């Protein structure tokens, strides 16, 4: 069974940094691209970033480009999101998501349970 | 960026009746080289992550009840639940993966009338 377990969320002040992690199991991690997708409280889904199977292709959403960095460690079956210069509007539940293929251009399945990031002073 | 617009924003349907949710993309998500529509539908129940229902616009994910079906091509797509069950109460999202940035519709909240 595929499992994606996010961690690292919490309360952080505006302008500070936070690093999210996602531990993957139940599939061959380095065969698939991965993504982060977020959902602000009571709102819809927003794609944040995606990374290909061997990190050769990395893409970001407009609202986080230049502030967030997605990375992966295939030896540890782990996905990361380094979030810098955090803003109030980054407050959301952050989901780790497996792509259907090796490049970050497929559909999303499955999704982790999410880790909550709250940006507030 | 491809803008995805769903209609309606909310929908109330009686148990056993048909529910129809529409999704329109601002440009075609049909890749002519393989004749595939890069369009997915997800179901999100309260307190849960989204769950994949339909991919390639009309292919039902394994384990998804056959009362769920997807149709459409190009820019106009539909998710149909043929006979609404109580467990289908959720928010439904369409998603295009034709190009990055990936984009989602705003969601349609489905309730029981």
Please give the residue of chain B at the shortest CA–CA distance from A38. Answer: B49
The pLDDT, as a whole number, for residue B59 is 98
| Chain B nearest-CA residue for A39 | B49
What is the dihedral angle through the alpha carbons of A5, B97, B32, A30, rounded to the nearest 10 degrees?
Answer: -30
Shortest alpha-carbon distance between residue A98 and chain B (Å) = 11
Q: Taking CB atoms and an 8 Å limit, are B102 and A95 in contact across chains?
A: no
User: Which member of B1, B55, B100 has the closest CB to residue A107?
Assistant: B55
State the nearest Cα–Cα gap between B62 and chain A, in angstroms.
12
Selected for mutation to probe chain B from A108, A110, A114, A116 (highest B CB count within 10 Å) is: A108
Q: Does B68 touch chain A (CB under 8 A)?
A: no
Alpha helices per DSSP H over A1-121: none
pLDDT profile of chain A (121 residues), mean per 10: 98 98 97 98 98 98 98 98 98 98 96 98 95
pLDDT band at residue B74 using 50, 70 and 90 as cut-offs:
very high
Compare CB distances from A109 to B52, B102, B107 and report the shortest one's residue. Answer: B52
A94 to chain B: nearest residue by CA? B49
Cβ B101–A114 below 8 Å, yes or no? no
Closest CA to B105 of B11, B12, B26: B26
**Measured between CB atoms, does B70 come within 8 Å of chain A?**
no
Task: Work out the minimum CA distance from A115 to partner chain B, whole angstroms.
Answer: 11
Give whole-number Cα distances, B66 to A120, B63, B70, B93, in Å.
44, 9, 10, 18
Strand partners, A35: A50, A97
Q: In this structure, are residues A111 and B50 in contact, taking their beta carbons and an 8 Å threshold?
A: yes
In whole angstroms, what is the distance from residue A29 CA to residue B77 CA? 32
Is the distance from CB of B13 to CB of B113 less than 8 angstroms?
A: yes
* Residue of A61, A106, A111 lying closest to B50 (CB–CB): A111
DSSP B48-88: S--EEEEETTTEEPTT--TTEEEEEETTEEEEEESS--GGG
pLDDT-derived band of residue B13, with 50, 70 and 90 as boundaries? very high
Give the A-side interface with B, CB within 8 Å: 35, 44-47, 50, 59-62, 95, 100, 104-114
pLDDT at A38: 98
pLDDT, position A82: 98
Of B63, B62, B2, B7, whose CA–CA distance to B38 is shortest? B2
pLDDT of residue A103: 96
Among candidate residues A91, A107, A98, the one with its CA nearest the CA of residue A38: A91
pLDDT of residue B107: 98
Q: Quote the pLDDT of residue B45.
A: 98
Backbone angles phi, psi at B86, to 5 degrees: -60, -35
Nearest CB to B97 within list A107, A111, A113: A107
């Amino acid at each position: 069974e595929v499992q994606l377990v996010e961690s690292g969320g919490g309360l952080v002040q505006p302008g500070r940094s936070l690093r999210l992690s996602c531990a993957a199991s139940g599939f061959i991690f380095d065969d698939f691209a991965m993504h982060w997708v977020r959902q602000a409280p009571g709102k819809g889904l927003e794609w944040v970033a995606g990374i290909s199977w061997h990190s050769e292709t990395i893409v970001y959403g407009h609202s986080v480009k230049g502030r967030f960095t997605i990375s992966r460690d295939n030896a540890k079956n782990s996905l990361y999101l380094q979030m810098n210069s955090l803003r109030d509007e980054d407050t959301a539940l952050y989901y780790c998501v497996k792509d259907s293929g090796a490049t970050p251009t497929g559909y999303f399945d499955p999704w982790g349970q999410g880790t909550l990031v709250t940006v507030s002073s | 960026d491809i803008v995805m617009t769903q209609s309606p924003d909310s929908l109330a349907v009686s148990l056993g009746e048909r529910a129809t949710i529409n999704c329109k993309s601002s440009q075609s998500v049909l890749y002519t080289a393989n004749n595939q529509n890069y369009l997915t539908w997800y179901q999100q129940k309260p307190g849960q992550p989204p769950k994949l229902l339909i991919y390639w616009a009309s292919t039902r994910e394994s384990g998804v009840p056959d009362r769920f079906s997807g149709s459409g091509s190009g820019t106009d797509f539909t998710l149909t639940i043929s006979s609404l069950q109580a467990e289908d109460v959720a928010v439904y999202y369409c998603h295009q993966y034709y190009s990055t940035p990936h984009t989602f519709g705003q969601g349609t909240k489905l309730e029981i009338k």
